[in-house]
Amino acid sequence: MPRVMPILAIAASALLLADARADVFKYVDGKGNTYFTDAPLAGSKYRLAWKRESERLASEKRERLVSENRQRLAKLGLGSSPAGVSALSLRAVPAPRFAPPLAPALPPASATDQSLAARRARFERVINAYAQVYGLSPQLLHAVIRTESAYNHEAVSRAGAEGLMQLMPGTAARYGVKDSFNPVENVRGGAAYLRDLLNLFGQDLTLALAGYNAGENAVIRNGNQIPPYPETQNYVRQVLQHLAAERVGG
């Protein structure tokens, strides 16, 4: 029996579950509902929109995402292939499980095998670019990233936060981050969130940082004060210490 999946607000890429060599059929019914299936559908209620090989469809999806990321980088003035950044843009989303893997977007060595200074230098241009976009100081973003992940773009916390700025899945979705392990997307989402928190709390940096760690609602519930959580209080202190060191070093 063919696998039929109606589309409402789900991206087509999430529906490509067929075998690597299977075909994918797109049908539309009389009510405008869209269906993807790995075998033809019978019945006059379905109109065939197109038929493609699943591997080709996945390849087109990857190419489109790569193009979108390059355009985003160009708008930031980073160009399509700046040193240390172009490869990162190729990891917009993981390749579908049945598609040929992309060439490695990052050096094979794990981020934990590199020195802190080397990891920092690698992401400096991206950090500077998004600091400018969101009206933040680069030193602040560096301080947050050092506290959150020590510049390890592969970091995952026990709570499920991911990437350089340790975005929770809900926060990533809120800011349109498709792949939290993509440093370009991760820094963009984290910087946007930090800017919103600063605006929410009247540019009070300590409250914005507390909100970044514990969530803005936790700060609000505690009367716009740093919540009495040891982890959050320690987090704010650490970021401020790193920020002070950044300013002295800069």
The residues carrying an active-site annotation are 148
Helix (H, G, I), strand (E, B) or coil at 135: coil
| Residues β-bridged to residue 57 | none
Region at 43 (left for phi over 0; alpha for psi -120 to 50; beta for the rest): left
DSSP string, 137-165: -HHHHHHHHHHHHTT-TT-B-TT--BTTT
192 and 173 Cβ atoms separated by less than 8 Å: no
Helix (H) / strand (E) containing 115 = none
Determine the residue type at 231: E
DSSP string, 34-91: EEEESSPPPSTTEEEEEEEEHHHHHHHHHHHHHHHHHHHHHHTT--SS-TTTTTGGGG
User: Which position has the token pair 């991760």?
Assistant: 186
119 and 152 Cβ atoms separated by less than 8 Å: yes
CA angle 168/178/243 to nearest 5° reads 50
